[in-house]
Amino acid sequence: LNVALFVTCLTDTFFPRVGEAVVRVLRHFGCTVEFPAAQTCCGQPAFNSGFHREAAVLARRMIDVFAPYECIVTPSASCAAMIQHHFAELLADDPSAHREARRLAERTFEFTTFLTQRLGVDIARRLAFRGPVTFHFPCHSRGAYGPEQLAAWCAGESPAQLRRPAHADLCCGFGGMFSIEFPEISGPMLADRLNDLAATGATTIVCNEAGCTLSLAGGAHRRGLPLRFVHVAECLAESLGLMEPAT
């Protein structure tokens, strides 16, 4: 299967290891992976801020960049949802662009959805953790998988290692521009989420969204909490022996 990786701007900039893990895991399961170098950002920050003209320009660009590829896989459920749900809405006034947007939506997959639904991978069976683990469920993953699904993946074959957070479904306070514009609200939300995660006693936290990880890891670092946030792609790559455990 030929796959084009849409790595997303945040993962590209801050979490190259996640992108690498996605590539190695997809290759492991028999995919040919390409990285269209012209890609930048799906435009979600503009869209969510209400700047839809700007977002529409970037949506058209995404459609062009990924036009040659039959499958597009991204490690971010949030960016996948942007493509799947909002591109067509943004381009509603232009029938041909709208058609292309819908075609792109059908060809775009969030990473775990692609693994389970297209490649038939049983993630829980492939994951192994060396110590206690907990998870942060990213709000924008709801369209791809639920908190229970994420818990089941993390529990894998050694459920005793899973330390469930008291609140499986709680926002980390990121929200894109929201976290910059309303730090006085975003900060306490982050504190709620970090307290809940820290209370599990696990220091490894599976979080499949670069935005959430940027927020949570940044908050944990500010507070001196020794928490390590990992994408399920990294966990899989390590479990499958494709990458060395991070230091």
Partner 1 sequence: MTPDAAFHHRVASAVRDERVIRAVHLATLHKVQARAAGMAALRNYERIRALAAQIKQHTLENLADYLQQLVSNLQQRGATVHVASDAAAARDIICGIARRSGARLAVKAKSMTSEEIHLNEALQTAGVTTVETDLGEFIVQLDHDRPSHIVTPIIHKDRRQIAEAMQRELGCAYTQDPRELTAIARRHLRGVFARCDLGITGVNFAVAESGTLCICTNEGNGRMTVTRPRVHVALMGIEKVIPRLGDLPVFLKLLARSSTGQPMTVYTTLVTGPRRAGELDGPDELHVVLMDNGRSTLVGGRFAEVLRCIRCGACLNACPVYRNIGGHAYGGVYPGPIGSLVSPLLHGLDGREALPRASSLCGACRVACPVNIDIPSLLVRLRTASRDSRPLSKRIAMRLWQCVLESPALYTVAQWLLRRLLRDSGDGWSQRLPGSVGGWTTTRDVPIPRESFRNRWRRMLENAHEPD
Which of the residues 167 through 186 are near partner 1 (CB under 8 A)?
A: 167, 169-171, 173-186
Among 126, 136, 140, 231, the residue binding partner 1 under the rule CB under 8 A is 140
Q: Helix, strand, coil % (nearest 5) of the chain? A: 55, 10, 35
Query: CB-wise, 15 or 145, nearer to partner 1?
Result: 15
Q: Using CA atoms, how far apart are residues 100 and 25, in angstroms rounded to an integer?
A: 29
Choice between 156 and 198, CB closer to partner 1: 198
Non-local (6+) Cβ contacts of 42 within 8 A are 6, 8, 58, 59, 62, 79, 82, 83
| Shortest separation between residue 185's beta carbon and partner 1, angstroms | 6
Window 86-125: contact mask with partner 1 (x via CB under 8 A) = ----------------------------------------
Nearest residue (CB) to partner 1, 161 versus 234: 234
Closest approach of partner 1 to the CB of residue 179, in Å:
6
Strands 133-135 and 204-206: parallel
Interface with partner 1 in residues 5-24 (CB under 8 A): 7, 9, 11-16, 18-20, 23
Shortest gap between Cβ of 161 and partner 1 (angstroms)?
26
Interactions with partner 1, residue window 40-69 (CB under 8 A): 40-41, 43, 45-52, 54, 57-58, 61
Give, as ranges, the residues between 185 and 204 that touch partner 1 (CB under 8 A): 185-192
- The residue assigned the tokens 């028999």 is 30
Amino acid in position 18: V
Please, which of residues 73-92 interact with partner 1 by CB under 8 A? none
Report how far Cα 66 is from the mean position of its chain's Cα atoms.
Answer: 19
Does residue number 160 form part of the binding site for partner 1 (CB under 8 A)? no
Q: Tokens standing for 235? A: 């966990």
Query: Can you list the alpha helix ranges (DSSP code H) found in the chain?
Result: 9-14, 16-28, 44-48, 52-65, 77-81, 87-90, 95-107, 111-113, 123-126, 147-155, 177-181, 183-198, 210-223, 232-239
